Chain A
Amino acid sequence: MPKAKTDAQPGANSTGSPAEDQDFLLRSLQEAHAADRRYKASKEELLKLYEQMLLIRRFEEKAGQLYGLGLIGGFCHLYIGQEAVAVGLQSALDGNKDSVITGYRDHGHMLAYGIDPKVIMAELTGRHSGISKGKGGSMHMFSVEHRFYGGHGIVGAQVSLGTGLAFAHKYREDGGVAMAYFGDGAANQGQVYESFNMAALWNLPIIFVIENNQYAMGTAVARSSAETHFYRRGTAFRIPGMQVDGMDVLEVRKAAEVALEHVRGGNGPVLMELNTYRYRGHSMSDPAKYRSREEVQGVRDKRDPIEHAKAELMEMGVDEAELKAIDKRVRADVAESADFAENSPEPDMSELYTDVLVERY
């Protein structure tokens, strides 16, 4: 791979010193974002984003309920509170060429991609009609058709794998961009920085997305991270950063467009920090003793991404009845997915031995 970003590039058309110029490049996306923060959505566009966020919220609530009933086992990480991140970012991607990869908190990203809630819920209940035939579970879902590459259970692994997806985009010259999501916890893993280094060195088309939901399992960011402004974490590798309000779907959308323009322009990776909040525990078995009920309720009351979009829609003249109709439709879809997931058979016993290897030797 040719090295595109060298010292020769900055400073060529500038009176400033190279060091200052580099600082400017690192800040330039953040400045562009600050100058024009929010996407100007039409009523129809915002309605669509609202419905997608609502679908994730209701789906996850239902998943929590099914877990409580013993229909979902093992680990189950809910995305409630973070909906605007996946919905806002993925609404800006090109579904025909871009690729997405994330960690174990993956239900929301799949729903934001328009993957059928039925096959996701059936995977959660471990049934044959699940998207991984019931063999992956909540943390391990993939859709090659949608260029959704999982669904990975080892914290931080998806960052290197996503860099590999970006490598493949560049190698094939297909114009695609990889988006690799990870959390504030994963942001402290060593391989993240190995990947930053190579992505910048080889000018790969990737957007690193840190979903900062404030807690790595039970550890608050200030207790685990020396630099809590995660968007600055790419500075040592000359990766420009952006800090984005992840609770506002239109801000997320706009920021994604700024980042995508930069990456599609052949300028290499971008690091986005999306500040968000997880309402539920890290997983279903999290007693949440590391934060107060008031803290959670405060975010719900003041910053909820769905309520925010709803208020904006009403200002745009959408009436209560239309919103009720959406809510009803979403509830019906989720109820249908739960029925499907509950009534599908478990995988056939023969599936125990399939898919270990592709070929016969």
Chain B
Amino acid sequence: MAIELKMPALSPTMEEGKLAKWLVKEGDEVSSGDILAEIETDKATMEFEAVDEGTIGKIVVPEGTENVKVGTVIAVLAGEGEDASTVAQSVSETPAPTPAPASSEPAKAKAEEAPAPARKDPEVPHGTNMKTSTVREALRDAMAEEMRRDERVFVMGEEVAEYQGAYKVTQGLLEEFGPKRVIDTPITEYGFAGIGTGAAMGGLRPVIEFMTFNFAMQAIDHIINSAAKTNYMSGGQMRCPVVFRGPNGAASRVGAQHSQNYGPWYANVPGLVVIAPYDASDAKGLLKAAIRSEDPVVFLENELIYGRSFELPELDDHVLPIGKARIMREGKDVTIVSYSIGVGLALEAAEQLAGEGIDAEVIDLRTLRPLDKQTILESLAKTNRLVVAEEGFPVCSIASEVIAICMEEGFDDLDAPVLRVCNEDVPLPYAANLEKAALIDTPRIVEAVKKVCYQG
């Protein structure tokens, strides 16, 4: 059968090109790999190689021709046992084949997806003993319980084993689980983040600790390109159930390179789950859920609240739903949305505002991705006023996202513009007075709330 040689696309963007030069003539025998012609593309001059064996029957497009569309027949090749002179007749005008058209509109297809079940925190049975626990202990207990429950769970990171954790979060794990499952790494974030991700692909349940998330920037390629995208790129074939955890956000007087909130960075990426708990109960219940999740999870803790004590229900298996915000304080006049360390400041602000006759509702987002829009919008529908309090840079922040949601889906409920209270838009300074001035605090939240209540 005669083979039509068509004008090739030699780059992702090429639509037409110049047939600069033929390196063969009619009647020439060619074999696979021989250079047939030089073609000028939008990027460069490229060589056009033969794929099949045969004899050049006819050159259809002469050299020097410009603007030859991709897919145009430029020559005809006679196959084995064919007469090269007769095949020239059979040239057709077929353009490049195009793929079958897509079946339906994307927006419609999305609507077919059933909504996720509305998941609430499980009821704590009446009479459950409450104990006081620090966030640090709650996190450790979560890991220990999951390690007892599932042999595949292991903890890896810098100083997690013999040193007992740089911030003592992994204290005691080495003694209970041994060096096979509690693994000290060299200082090599990119490498061990990749190893953890690969181990998850290989069927394990790694908990990868970053000493702080500032250092995870060295490893962010694996968190995003390797962990977050693989399930999608493999058409759902290859899962990556890894947890990346560690302290995030500003600590105290540690300077700009050790003081950043990466919540907005990771929350930007489809394929990741991002959790940032505030109190001990959420830290424990959500870390257990994160370890059990089939998806890659970024779990953002906060150094300044590791040592704070909270009430925690004493349950055999305290697991909380991912993707569900929590109403920390009910109120009717205004909503303050926050997460992580900001929740404590928002609660303080609400107390203060109560003294001034403003009844504020405080929402802890807990999970930054997927974000619980429903809880935010329901609260907004009730209070009609909203402030977002976030310990982090203001630009392209979680606050920006919450404000966009209120504009897009809650506009009719708004009685005032939504305001955000964030850190100042500068790298965090070291000097005590400057650091204090740069960070979010309760008075700023109070001021913003009064503003949206038109009482400022």
Contacts and interface: CB of A to CB of B under 8 A. Distances in A.
Interface centre among A141, A151, A154, A167 (most CB of B within 10 A): A167
A125 interface: yes
Contact of A172 (B102, B108, B203): B203
Contacts of A159: 194
Nearest to B46: A287
B198 A161 contact: yes
Contact of B8 (A69, A130, A195): A69
B32 interface: yes
Interface string B199-243: 111111000000000000000011001100011111111110000
B322 A361 contact: yes
Given A164-B198, A194-B191, A356-B232, A64 B41 contact: no
Contacts of B230: 142, 150
Interface string B331-348: 000000000000000000
Nearest to B34: A297
Interface centre among A71, A285, A353 (most CB of B within 10 A): A285
A169 B47 CA distance: 45
Nearest to A137: B233
Contacts of A140: 233-234
Nearest to A199: B195
Contacts of B49: 64
A348 interface: yes
A143 interface: yes
A125 B49 CA distance: 20
B99 interface: yes
A300 B32 CA distance: 12
B404 interface: no
A354 interface: yes
A359 interface: yes
B431 interface: no
Given A70-B96, A349-B109, A352-B109, A161 B201 contact: yes
A61 B51 contact: yes
A132 B238 CA distance: 10
Contacts of B51: 61-62, 64-65
B179 A1 contact: yes
Contact of B45 (A131, A287, A349): A287
B97 A167 contact: no
A287 B9 contact: no
A74 interface: yes
Q: DSSP class of B's interface residues: helix, strand, loop or mixed?
A: loop
A289 B117 CA distance: 58
A301 to B, nearest CB: 11
A356 B270 contact: yes
B273 interface: yes
A74 B233 CA distance: 15
Interface size class of A (residues with CB under 8 A): 35 or more
A71 to B, nearest CB: 7
Contact of A154 (B203, B204, B221, B239): B221
A323 interface: no
B236 A346 contact: no
Contacts of B234: 132, 135-136, 140-142, 150-151, 355
Given A161-B198, A287-B44, A345-B103, A195 B191 contact: yes
- For the complex of A and B, the 7 pairs showing the least CB-CB separation, nearest first, are A164-B198, A160-B194, A194-B191, A68-B8, A168-B202, A361-B323, A133-B235
26 contacts: A1-B183, A65-B8, A69-B8, A69-B71, A70-B71, A132-B235, A133-B235, A142-B230, A142-B238, A149-B201, A150-B238, A153-B225, A160-B222, A161-B222, A168-B202, A195-B194, A197-B186, A284-B10, A285-B12, A285-B43, A293-B47, A349-B105, A349-B108, A355-B231, A358-B231, A361-B321
Given A74-B12, A285-B43, 13 more contacts: A125-B99, A144-B238, A164-B202, A167-B195, A168-B198, A285-B10, A287-B45, A289-B44, A345-B103, A353-B106, A357-B271, A358-B295, A361-B324
Interface of A: 1-2, 61-62, 64-65, 67-71, 73-75, 99, 101, 125-127, 130-136, 140-144, 149-154, 157, 159-165, 167-169, 171-172, 178, 190-191, 194-195, 197-198, 201, 279, 284-285, 287-289, 293, 300, 342, 345-346, 348-361
Interface of B: 6-12, 14, 32-33, 35, 41, 43-49, 51, 70-71, 96-106, 108-110, 112-113, 116-117, 119, 154, 179-180, 183, 185-186, 188, 190-204, 221-222, 225-226, 230-239, 270-271, 273, 293-295, 321-324, 367, 370
